[in-house]
């Protein structure tokens, strides 16, 4: 049975997804949101008002619960010393820049008398997908097909305002020694090696490529959802430029995933607002992961040793799940053993939805820390 950790857990955790304009509070029990997020303005330009809104938001959620929570666990932008709960010089929270460091975690611990855990939203997204989303989905498909292969590691990215990322290894979130593990935005941009991958795999990248192809100013370029509609022929516009915007994104994001998977050796999951247009970029993204190096070295046939399969494509998903298991002899015993000679990885879209994955990741992280 492909059991999902914390699915039946009765403990409740208060969570928050903090953005530069809005703070979204909710509570999670058994890997499920207890109610829709409560939105409060971030007040990012006024430190005291921002902190007051954070405290008030958690109190408002706590008041709706039938039993006391066991922890507070949430996503907040970095740079930060997340284990210590100290938020640093934030680009999109000007008031935090001026403060020179805010001990947000200790402040909330003193206010609520609960353990407080803070992480990056990209990290918590991947952790949520590892606990209750994409990873158990893939392992469940393998189990149902009678395939003995199971996965434990995940590298993931979010495609949105920026390029977020995270790594989970054997059920543990990789935080890093400086709280900066899994920073996918700093990986190489294959189309512009002098820049990070974020500049080719985010909202502004899609708009920039469309604007260039359509011969319009960047400020006149529509949002990615509209560009996706143009590419699909549902909305008037430059269809070729729209298609190219997502092709380029797929190349950059695919190469970034290949860089990460070369070290992590696990599954790859994609979230963020742009992921809704996966039909336009996933084939190219997976092709970029599987692309051979140009040096013609036959000993390294692909960008990765493992072959990547697109889990959003019916035929590729079926081939991945089926595998290539065969029996081979155990020398000198007269017995045989199953063996699959092809290393594989699966690449797919969030099964929880990005916001819910962040909340579930925050929940699971808190319970894991408490149980340790």
* pLDDT band of 99, cuts 50, 70, 90: confident
Could you give the CA distance from residue 188 to residue 254 in angstroms, rounded to a whole number?
Answer: 11
* pLDDT band of 2, cuts 50, 70, 90: low
* Strand pairing class (71-75; 116-119): parallel
Flag whether pLDDT at 348 surpasses 60: yes
What are the structural domains, with CATH classification, of the chain? 12-119 (3.30.420.40), 134-351 (3.30.420.40)
**What is the DSSP track for 217-266?**
-GGG---HHHHHHHHTTSS-S-HHHHHHHHHHHHHHHHHHHHHHHHHH-S
Query: Contact, 179 vs 83, CB < 8 A?
Result: yes
The dihedrals phi and psi of 181, each to the nearest 5 degrees, come to -70, 145
Flag whether pLDDT at 52 surpasses 90: yes
The model's pLDDT over 124-151, given as tens digits with 9 standing for 90+, comes to 999 999 999 999 999 999 999 988 899 9
Query: Contact, 345 vs 153, CB < 8 A?
Result: no
Could you give the CA distance from residue 366 to residue 372 in angstroms, rounded to a whole number?
Answer: 10
Residue 300 is predicted with a pLDDT of 60
Burial class (CB in 10 A: 0-12, 13-18, 19+), 147: middle
Query: Contact, 166 vs 354, CB < 8 A?
Result: no
Residue 103 is predicted with a pLDDT of 95
């Amino acid at each position: 049975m492909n059991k999902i950790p914390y699915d039946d857990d009765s403990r409740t955790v208060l969570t928050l997804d903090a953005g530069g304009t809005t703070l979204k509070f909710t509570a999670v029990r058994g890997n499920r949101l207890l109610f829709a997020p409560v939105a409060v303005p971030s007040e990012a330009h006024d430190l005291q008002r921002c902190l007051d809104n954070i405290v008030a938001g958690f109190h408002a959620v706590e008041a709706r619960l039938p039993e006391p929570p066991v922890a507070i666990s949430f996503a907040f932008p970095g740079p930060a010393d997340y284990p210590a709960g100290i938020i640093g010089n934030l680009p999109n929270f000007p008031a935090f820049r001026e403060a020179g460091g805010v001990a947000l975690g200790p402040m909330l611990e003193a206010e609520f008398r609960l353990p407080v855990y803070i992480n990056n939203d990209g990290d918590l997204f991947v952790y949520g997908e590892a606990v209750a989303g994409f990873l158990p989905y893939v392992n469940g498909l393998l189990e149902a097909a009678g395939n003995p292969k199971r996965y434990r590691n995940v590298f993931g990215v979010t495609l949105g305002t920026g390029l977020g990322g995270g790594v989970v290894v054997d059920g543990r979130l990789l935080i890093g020694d400086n709280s900066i593990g899994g920073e996918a935005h700093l990986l190489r941009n294959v189309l512009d090696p002098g820049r990070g991958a974020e500049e080719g795999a985010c909202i502004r990248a899609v708009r920039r490529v469309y604007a260039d192809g359509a011969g319009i100013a960047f400020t006149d370029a529509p949002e990615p959802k509209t560009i996706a509609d143009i590419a699909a022929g549902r909305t008037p516009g430059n269809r070729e430029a729209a298609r190219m915007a997502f092709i380029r994104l797929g190349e950059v994001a695919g190469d970034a995933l290949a860089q990460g998977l070369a070290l992590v050796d696990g599954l790859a999951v994609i979230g963020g607002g742009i992921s809704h247009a996966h039909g336009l970029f996933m084939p190219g993204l997976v092709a970029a992961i599987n692309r051979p190096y140009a040096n013609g070295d036959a000993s390294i046939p692909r960008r990765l040793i493992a072959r990547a399969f697109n889990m959003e494509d019916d035929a590729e998903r079926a081939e991945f799940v089926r595998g290539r298991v065969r029996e081979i002899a155990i020398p000198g015993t007269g017995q045989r053993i199953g063996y699959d000679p092809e290393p594989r990885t699966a690449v797919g879209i969030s099964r929880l939805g990005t916001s819910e994955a962040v909340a579930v990741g925050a929940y699971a992280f808190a319970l894991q820390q408490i149980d340790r």
